[in-house]
């Protein structure tokens, strides 16, 4: 399956394509209004600060048809890094051809090559097709964990040690 696709890591000149894929994914998830990323922010954080990596999946002609944006996290229990997959997206015209699975297989290979202990990601509860896809590959939902987040004004108040909630 993985051999049906080509892969390459993104370069700074790919920033507009990364943002396009992010917007397409957000639109698919009904969250386009939440995208505030810009090309300059992506270039800064991905390529200058090197806080994330982007892997493109390409068809046989070399056209980018999907992407994965990921970064390393750390498990204290395992005592080693893992890969956290922030976004996985395949363009609608290329879905159902095994590209999503090939991207996950490639990321698993990268995780093993780098000595990582796990590959993990979140999925919206409402994204039933993706949940079925992930489960079909043996991915297990972490139903005993709840994600918590500080963001925006709440994050700013926490950083300022403000005792009042926004």
Does residue 53 sit in helix, strand or coil? strand
Which residues are known to be catalytic? 134
Instruction: Measure the CA dihedral 50/3/138/89, to 10°.
Output: 50
Tens digit of pLDDT for each residue in 60-76? 999 999 999 999 999 99
What pLDDT sits at residue 91?
96
Residue 165 has pLDDT above 70, yes or no: no
Rounded-to-10 torsion of CA 143, 25, 135, 95: 170
Phi, psi of 155 (to 5 degrees): -65, -45
Q: Is the pTM of this model over 0.85?
A: yes
Which candidate, 134, 145, 99, 142, places its Cα nearest to that of 6? 99
């Amino acid at each position: 399956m993985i051999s049906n696709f080509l892969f390459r890591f993104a370069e700074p000149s790919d920033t507009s394509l990364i943002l396009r894929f992010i917007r397409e994914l957000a639109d698919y998830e009904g969250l386009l209004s939440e995208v505030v990323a810009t090309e300059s922010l992506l270039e800064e954080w991905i390529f200058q600060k090197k806080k994330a990596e982007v892997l493109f999946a390409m068809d046989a002609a070399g056209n980018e048809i999907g992407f994965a944006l990921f970064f390393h996290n750390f498990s204290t229990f395992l005592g080693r890094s893992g890969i956290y997959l922030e976004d996985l997206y395949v363009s609608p015209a290329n879905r159902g051809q095994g590209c999503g699975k090939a991207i996950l297989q490639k990321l698993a290979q990268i995780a093993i090559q780098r000595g990582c202990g796990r590959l993990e990601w979140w999925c919206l509860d409402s994204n039933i097709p993706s949940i079925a896809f992930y489960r079909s590959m043996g991915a297990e939902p972490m139903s005993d964990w709840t994600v918590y987040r500080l963001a925006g004004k709440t994050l700013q108040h926490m950083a300022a040690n403000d005792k009042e909630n926004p």
